[in-house]
Structure formats: C-alpha cells, structure tokens
Structure 1
Amino acid sequence: MWCYQMYTTMTSQTRDYNISWEQFNDAIEKFIDKSELFNLNWSIKNVETQPDVKYLSKRENISMKINNQTKTERIEDELEEDYKNILTDDGVYLGATGEIPDSVTFEYHVVYSYSYNVPVLYFSAWKQDGKLLSLENIWENVPLVHRDFLKYDKWSFITQQEHPILGRPYFLVHPCHTANLIMQLLMNVPDSKRDNLSYLTTWLTAVGPTVGLQLPLEFVIADYPSSIYK
C-alpha cells in the first residue's frame, strides 16, 4: 500500500529523477565498459524475441547463514549450556546452534521498468543443492544497518513477482522507492556533473548491499561526481 501511495503521489520534482529507456541503455553499456576494467563479471543479456530489450546480469556465490540449516549433528539436550559452543574438526566456530554459512548462488538482473521509468534489481538465489531461498531467508540476511531502517516496510521493499522478461518468479527491490532515493542522493549534485552512468551506479550502490550485491569502492569513485562524497 505504501508503495502505491508513493507512486501515485509522486511529485514533478521526483519525476525529474526518473530515467528513460534510451538513457538506461546508454547507462548499462557504459557500466559494462567500466566493469570490465575491474573484472566484475557483469554482462549484457539480449532478448531474442525483442531485439531492443537488454539488461545487465551477474552471478556470484555468497556465504550466508540460512535459518534451520545445520551442518553438524545437534548437541544433546542434556549437555551444559557452556559446552554447546563447539568447534568443528577444522576449527570453525559454530556457536550454540551448530550453524555455519551456506554457499548461496545469487543471480542479479538490472532490468528497466516502463511503469516506473527506473532501473529495477531482480535476483534469484539458491543453495548448493539447488533449493531456492525463501523471502524470509533473504530478509534474514539483509544487513542490520538496512534492516532497522526498513523494518516497517520490508515486505514491500523486497518482494517477489514474475520476471518481466524471463517469466519466472524472481525477488526484486521494488522500484517505487527508486526515484525518491535517487533524488535524495543526487539533488545536491549539479546537473553538469550527472550522467546516465552515475545515475545507475548511485542507485546500484544504494540498493545492492541490501541483498548482498557490492560494488568495489574503486569502481564507485572512478570518474564519479566527487561532490557526492563531500
């Protein structure tokens, strides 16, 4: 509901921080050129049935804890609490639950939204056994600094719906926040220092870390409007 209200009441000032389809295409092309210099393994995907449609894609493995997934046998209930914190054979601390991080594969897509006129971060995540993560698993691993800020809006900020190109269920960072977010980040940056690439990088730097996607600092600050960091 909050997203709907925000979208329908969007001011003309906020709309100034949208991006056109042409600007998005220009931004992702420049983003790829720059990412190749840093070996970030992003690529542009083209759609066979829609030659003009393309989007950014990246796949990487992330170590994260998944609730109720233990890697060792449960400690017997009769053991004293002090002895429930144990070490594995290779010296990895497990804590009281015996949990250690899983290796999770994330696939990120940056897709253009014609409804909101902004980029959208779609993603899917699965464990080594191929089991997809749930929305609860995703939210449990949102960094605390973001979780506290989003706790009253978590199910509308990160949600799940059909991928607009692939037609399969994907998670996404909902685009209703994007224009307002970009406005807050770039409103003090002169127009002469903004371009399509800085728009895309600013947005991705802000929303990516909530779902495990990081851009190196060197990538962010290279050829970037310095006034953002003053």
Structure 2
Amino acid sequence: MPFFLTRSQFNEACQAFVSKHNDGGSSSPGIGLGGWCWKEHAYVPSMGFLTRTVMLHRTICDMDSEDREADEAATNPTATESLSCHQHVAYSTSFQVPAFYFNIFDSNGSPLSISDILKTAFFRSSIREDTQATTFAVSAGEAVFPLLSQGDHPVLGSPSWYLHPCETANVVGEIMDEIQHNPDWNDETRLVRWLETWFMVVGTAVDLE
C-alpha cells in the first residue's frame, strides 16, 4: 500500500468509507467515523470531498462584581453555548494525502477566532499545551511546519482552518505497513483502512467524537 494516495484513490476510499460507516458498518472506538457524506464539486466530479457538521459546546460565564469584591470566585459557569463545527476532508494535491479542514461558528453564525477555538474541547489538551498561536496559524514546539494554518478550502475556495498534512503520509504509511498484510483484503478494503488509519492519526490532535 503506498504512503501516498492519488486523487482517484482518495475518491474511491472516501466513497467506500461513507458506505461502510453510514450503513451500519463498524467504527473504531474513540474515533468519530460516522456522519460523513461525500459531496461532489458542482462542476468537476473528480474534486469531491467528505463533509459533516457536528455540534460542540462551550461554557458561558457571568462576572459577578460582588464576588470579586469579596475575593470569591470571579467567574461562575451559568450556561453553555452551542457551536457548529463544519468539518471537511479534501485532497491535498501538494502532499497527495487527505487534509482535514474545519471552521467553528458560534450560536450567531460568527466564526471563532483561533484563540477561542483553542479554548474549546475540540483540540486535545496535549495539543493545546506547548503551542504558539498567531492570527493565522498555530505551531507546536520546535516544529518546522505549523500544526494548524488558515487557507482557502481547495474545493470551495472559502477561508478555512486546516491541519497541516506534511507528515501524514509517513505516519499513516508506517501504521499501514504493520496491518495491511491481510490476504482477505481487496484494493478497496485497503483504501478504506488507509483512510480509517488517517482518521485515527487526526484524532490524536482533535476530538472527532
């Protein structure tokens, strides 16, 4: 199984993945593999992508001046706000692997800033630690490439956040080398397992449940 995917392999993997996991197929525990659908490009069918929307929540706090004066807790959680997280999996022509794109919107439909996104539970706590954020990117430690960047969606053309896919091929390829030697797997099964492994890798950075 190659470390990289061609666009046709990506398309086949995504459509077979949707068929498996939205028709009663098994899901790996702890990884959100359900709810995805395949969306074709309006004019170029070969440029489709996976898409789904999930709901997140964040706590809204009220500031109580009397509590502050009394040196008691200044912030008291009183309510939660629903957030809409639009998630896409599109093909990266530069890296020849899937790339995870997303935007998170508050209850008024306004996109969250990167600082607010990092305060949600969407990112794993281990990722939020030891990171440096700018307006358009988040870098982890001494990494050469940013962990998270903002750019145009490769199919929709709209501004989106995306997890940088530079190391995807090596990480997924190493895992697949260990598990793909199953004589009962056909080419389609191997492609689906490649994509499931990719989701597992993405799930170490963001909460896909």
TM-score tier after normalising by the smaller chain length: 0.7 to 0.9
Deviation (angstroms), 1:97? 2.1
* Identical aligned residues as a percent: 27
1:112 alignment counterpart: 91
Partner of residue 205 from structure 2, selected from 210, 218, 221: 210
Cα distance change on mapping 1:133 and 1:209 into 2, 3 Å: farther
Question: Counterpart amino acid of 1:29?
Answer: Q
Deviation (angstroms), 1:20? 1.3
Is 2:128 the partner of 1:147?
Answer: yes
Question: Counterpart amino acid of 1:164?
Answer: P
Deviation (angstroms), 1:47? 1.0
Is 2:14 the partner of 1:17?
Answer: no
Deviation (angstroms), 1:30? 1.1
Task: Say which one has the larger Rg.
Answer: 1
Matched residues, number = 183
Q: Please list, as runs of the form range in 1=range in 2, the aligned pairs for 1:99-138 lying within 5 A after superposition.
A: 99=77, 100-138=79-117
User: Residue 37 of structure 1 aligns to a residue in which SS?
Assistant: coil
Partner of residue 97 from structure 1, selected from 61, 72, 75: 75
Q: Please list, as runs of the form range in 1=range in 2, the aligned pairs for 1:15-54 lying within 5 A after superposition.
A: 16-38=2-24, 40-54=34-48
Distance 1:57 1:22 in 2: 18
2:176 alignment counterpart: 186
Deviation (angstroms), 1:181? 1.8
CA contact under 8 A between 1:107 and 1:123: conserved in structure 2? yes
TM-score w.r.t. the length of structure 2 is: 0.76
1:79 alignment counterpart: 70
Cα deviations by residue, 1:129-150 (Å, 9 ceiling, x for unpaired)? 1121112222333222333476
Cα deviations by residue, 1:38-74 (Å, 9 ceiling, x for unpaired)? 4932211111221222111000101235xxxx44243
Query: Relative to total residues, which structure has the larger strand share, 1 or 2?
Result: 2
Deviation (angstroms), 1:204? 1.0
Question: Counterpart amino acid of 2:69?
Answer: E
CA contact under 8 A between 2:149 and 2:161: conserved in structure 1? yes
Cα deviations by residue, 1:150-174 (Å, 9 ceiling, x for unpaired)? 6314981111111111111100011
Distance 2:128 2:64 in 1: 29
Report the aligned-residue RMSD.
2.6
2:156 alignment counterpart: 166
TM-score w.r.t. the length of structure 1 is: 0.70
Q: Unaligned regions of 5+ residues in structure 1, if any?
A: 1-14, 85-95, 215-230
Deviation (angstroms), 1:209? 5.3
1:221 alignment counterpart: none
Question: Counterpart amino acid of 1:210?
Answer: A
Q: Unaligned regions of 5+ residues in structure 2, if any?
A: 26-33, 132-139
